[in-house]
Structure 1
């Protein structure tokens, strides 16, 4: 039986307490049967040190010397969980969570992480509440050491301290370029081997990879619009003959940039709609060959996925889609944190908020839409939830990387059938949801619960 609890750490001057001595409440020492007067191992992330435990009557915290606290990167007043593993005589503090972010701005002490600073603060608050310890670091802070990292902690303001490599790394890098840096890849691989650190949201996903992986599971095929890597004219021709409209999506695209919609016209020609920042540009072509010659110029630099066009539900002629945030919980199981409906802005066929779209609840959107009668709001919501969970499990099973949260973009056609648009392994965390009334978002709490699950706390 492993008893777990949260203790407040008091840091006292090194002259009053040797570095290898910890004071702990007598009740806890008895409860865990921690041997007194002999050395046991203290563990915090990758940090290990032999210490002696002194029980203190009528006390329920933990006291350590300044020099020990400095080695651990812990500040006075921190509350952390602890557990004693008798089999290895180890007192484990934690969980220690490291969040890998793209960049920091050391010259801006109030906003060291730019637009995600509030999210980072929120994470700190949530960790304090749950007895976890979190720090933030960037690829530039990854050095030759696999034991320590210079990271940012929040303690009466942001400050940089040397921290042990954590139990869990949450990869929040926002570009493939940073993620593919040799130093980052080397670090992620080596800390797993050396310290059994778990890394989650290990990598970016691209559309082709996701669709090819999910195709292997026959229970998921029903969510996948027909889609292929566009290699040549023959493929464009066969897709355009099967479907009245098709989409070309850049394989590595994001925010709806560069999507082209091709529609077969009554007159026998075709129309291409190009998504640009300013809105939609329409271009008619008398033949598919002419259209392809325009696209083949782009294909020299961009790889496209060609996808069956869907008759999506609309509100006043604007397409609607859905973003589900799916996360692993305290038991390591996928759960739905939220699903929101997104309606495209005027003159756009892409629903990203970056393009003037609006958010609403699933129920509101479905009620206002042209979804055919016979599919109730509850029914629609239930179908979306089931699809999101099934797809998340499928990504886990079919793609050899570790994910703890996924943003899953879904659509619904007018008959009520759910389709997968894309899966994003780095759901956005910008300041568009401020810390209102110091409420910590459920998505942030869930991330910490999953980190606790991974590290055994």
Structure 2
């Protein structure tokens, strides 16, 4: 199992490495690797019995290893010591301002990169324009105690996909980077692709465990389908197949007593409109929308907080052992008159302790949410392509205590962590996001051997 160690540097032009006394090697190491860079060096066990790795400045410079790194993970392979993992975080939308190299998202990424010492990884931010394919170097952005800095490093051991939206993901230049890194350089690329809601639903529907959490969901095909679902459930949601942040979500409600239809939605404000027929509602509300890209989902009678519906965000992450862990649970209370619980539509984040005052009730629902998230994480991992390391689930709990999956997000937002009671979960999710790279590095190192470095 790879271990995390403190690292120090000493002035010497020669390529010299002193490795920790408890770092057991099968053979006497002769080479040091960092990312795709590998250098022959004089390697000896620490002469003074310390469990620390010491590198000469000449070796660090040759490896393109940043000197501000204070802790690092050591991997052992044949006659090599591998330092890392070097984690490239791939994204787009870079600015020309060194203080905010990724615009408004700079703060989000600075928090993520700030956890590197406690995890023992070396993360950096980059886009396709920062890659030198010939020299196999990346001019990446690092976050240090002095702020953002840019420096050249080798190709990373793993790449974490943080493209901001589907549009950037579909760009040919983004696709080329992923294809070359994976196929030419054997670099594992984790969390690729935004989930398509209908595709996830249809794939999970074949899993016996997952099907228990799935509300009836179908592509919009006819008024008749909506009428049938309204008759059965009383209300339904019409939402974009590839939507996010609650945008474009409409709640359709049927009042049997008055034979009236209502539509609740949000654009610049919350709306509740009344119609005499479903056809009139659809023609007025969805006149300018492509209904072929919408899906219809069963409405659920949710638990409420002061008469406002609640749903729950649950974050699941893989850890350094490659195992799924629940890293965060939060409640989201809908804004007054809003069809969703998103903050932008008046929603409010609360901790699960604030929602369930009774400890027995709280533990019961917390266990149900955790088990649902773990079962669905394993199902999604089996059913979908690519390496998945994190998932954000939106769950509902009905008045009978049943858990329902509304959405699974491959790149979950972090708005829930604005709540001061979720600070520890905020840090844990960031740490796990990076520590999963340790598992991927070890796994691919064993699989590809010398090809990996």
Normalised by the size of structure 1, how large is the TM-score? 0.86
Aligned partners of 1:289 and 1:25: how far apart in 2? 73
Segments of structure 1 that go 5 or more residues without pairing to the other structure are: 369-374
How has the CA–CA distance of structure 1 residues 316 and 157 changed in structure 2, closer, same or farther, with 3 Å as cutoff? Answer: closer
Classify 1:118/1:305 alpha carbon distance in 2 versus 1 (closer, same or farther; 3 Å). Answer: same
Q: Name structure 2 gaps, 5 residues minimum.
A: 444-453
Q: Confirm or deny that 1:277 pairs with 2:277.
A: no
* Residue deviations 1:334-388 (CA, integer Å, cap 9, x gap): 11111111111222131112222112222432459xxxxxx93322222111111
Per-residue deviation, 1:205: 0.5
Partner of 1:268: 259
- Supply the distance in 2 between the matched residues of 1:48 and 1:303 (Cα, whole angstroms): 49
Aligned to 1:392: 377
Post-superposition shift, 1:68? 5.0
SS at structure 1 position matched to 2:418: coil
Mark the CA change 1:415 to 1:68 in structure 2 (over 3 Å): closer, same or farther. Answer: closer
3-state SS, counterpart of residue 452 of structure 1: helix
Distance in structure 1 (CA, Å) of the matches to 2:211 and 2:312: 19
C-alpha spacing 1:144/1:366, structure 2 compared with 1 (3 Å): same
Q: CA deviation at 1:434?
A: 8.6
Distance between the aligned counterparts of 1:62 and 1:35, measured in 2?
16
Indicate which of 13, 17, 41 corresponds to 2:13. Answer: 17
Alignment match, 2:329: 339
Moved more, 234-243 or 334-343: 234-243
1:295-344 Cα offsets, whole Å, 9 max, x none, are: 55234377111011111111222110000011112221111111111111
Measured in 2, the distance between the counterparts of 1:276 and 1:207 equals: 21
Deviation at 1:289, TM superposition (A): 2.5
Residue pairs, 1:33-432, within 5 angstroms: 35=28, 40-53=30-43, 57-58=47-48, 60-66=52-58, 69=61, 71-75=63-67, 78-86=70-78, 89-109=79-99, 111-142=100-131, 144-145=133-134, 147-155=136-144, 156-265=146-255, 266-279=257-270, 281-295=271-285, 297-300=287-290, 303-367=293-357, 376-429=361-414, 432=418
Aligned residue pairs, count: 437
Question: Conserved in 2, the CA contact under 8 Å of 1:146 and 1:190?
Answer: no
Structure 1 pair 343–25 and aligned structure 2 pair: CA distance change class (3 A): closer
Conserved 8 A contact 2:191-2:390: yes
Task: Quickly say closer, same or farther: Cα 1:433–1:125, change in 2 above 3 A.
Answer: farther
TM-score by length of 2: 0.87
Instruction: Indicate how the Cα distance of structure 1 residues 42 and 61 shifts in structure 2: closer, same or farther if over 3 A, else same.
Output: closer
Distance apart, 1:100 and its partner CA = 1.8
RMSD over equivalenced CA pairs, Å: 3.0
For 1:32, the equivalent position in structure 2 comes to: 25
Aligned to 1:448: 434
Distance 1:189 1:379, change over 3 A: same
* 8 Å CA contact retained: 1:146, 1:187: no
Instruction: Provide the C-alpha distance between the structure 1 equivalents of 2:20 and 2:297, rounded to a whole number of angstroms.
Output: 66
* 2:20/2:53 contact within 8 Å kept: no
C-alpha displacement at 1:208, in angstroms? 0.8
